[in-house]
Structure 1
Amino acid sequence: MDNITCITRDGTVWTPEFVTELNAKTCISCGRCYKVCTRDVLELIDRSESDLPEDDDEDDSESMASVMSLANPGDCTGCGACSRVCPKNCFTNSPLPLAA
């Protein structure tokens, strides 16, 4: 099955890459992705103790009480802005097939 493709205003063919996964273990809750998403795909939630990183480094991720999550992944337009601004590369994006 073919992937979803679009044509931009200048006639360029573009294949959107939708967010399919967010790695909560590497998320530092900086909020950059939340700020650039125009579709309310993301939500900041409390991080459970079991989700905390296990490394002994004193980085920001260990002290964070919250983590970003995919609240409404079906609203993603595939623009990829969240992935481009994420300093920890937490997002996995991929093209999706056309629905029958």
Structure 2
Amino acid sequence: MEKNTRDGRMWVPEFLTAIDPDTCIGCGRCYKVCGREVMTLKGLNEEGEIVPLDSEDDEDFEKKVMAMNDIGACIGCGACARVCPTDCQTHTPANELESLEA
């Protein structure tokens, strides 16, 4: 799935397909640059499971991490990857995405 830029150059969107919770530091930079709510802040518990944040009980998680929220809203711009200090995200080119979903 190739697209054209405004001046006609070819461009292949690379969609956010995963966030590594072990590498993510939960800084929120990616969330701030994404206007589409593709990601959200969650907790990572002792078992390595992503859990919702509960403002009343911070003991349910070890650290905060970014997690996928609405993967279908990603437009493949790559802004989140450019601001991520830990390179914890996986992006997949649109032309390879179809084979992953099949």
SS where residue 27 of structure 1 aligns? coil
1:93 and 2:55 matched: no
1:16 and 2:13 matched: yes
Structure 1 segments of 4+ aligned residues over 6 angstroms from their partners: none
After TM superposition, the score normalised by the length of structure 2 is 0.76
Task: Quote how far apart the aligned CAs of 1:19 are.
Answer: 0.7
Match for residue 43 of structure 1 among 40, 43, 50: 40
SS where residue 50 of structure 1 aligns? coil
Match for residue 68 of structure 1 among 66, 69, 83: 66
CA shift digits 1:32-90 (9 cap, x unpaired) = 000001111000012212229xxxxxxxxxxx631100011111000011111100000
Distance 2:17 2:9 in 1: 24
SS where residue 13 of structure 2 aligns? coil
Distance 2:48 2:30 in 1: 20
Task: Quote how far apart the aligned CAs of 1:18 are.
Answer: 0.4
What runs of 5+ residues in structure 2 fail to find an aligned partner? 50-61
What runs of 5+ residues in structure 1 fail to find an aligned partner? 53-63
Distance 1:19 1:6 in 2: 17
| Partner residue in 1 for 2:26 | 29
CA RMSD of aligned residues (A): 2.1
| Count of residue correspondences | 86
SS where residue 9 of structure 1 aligns? coil
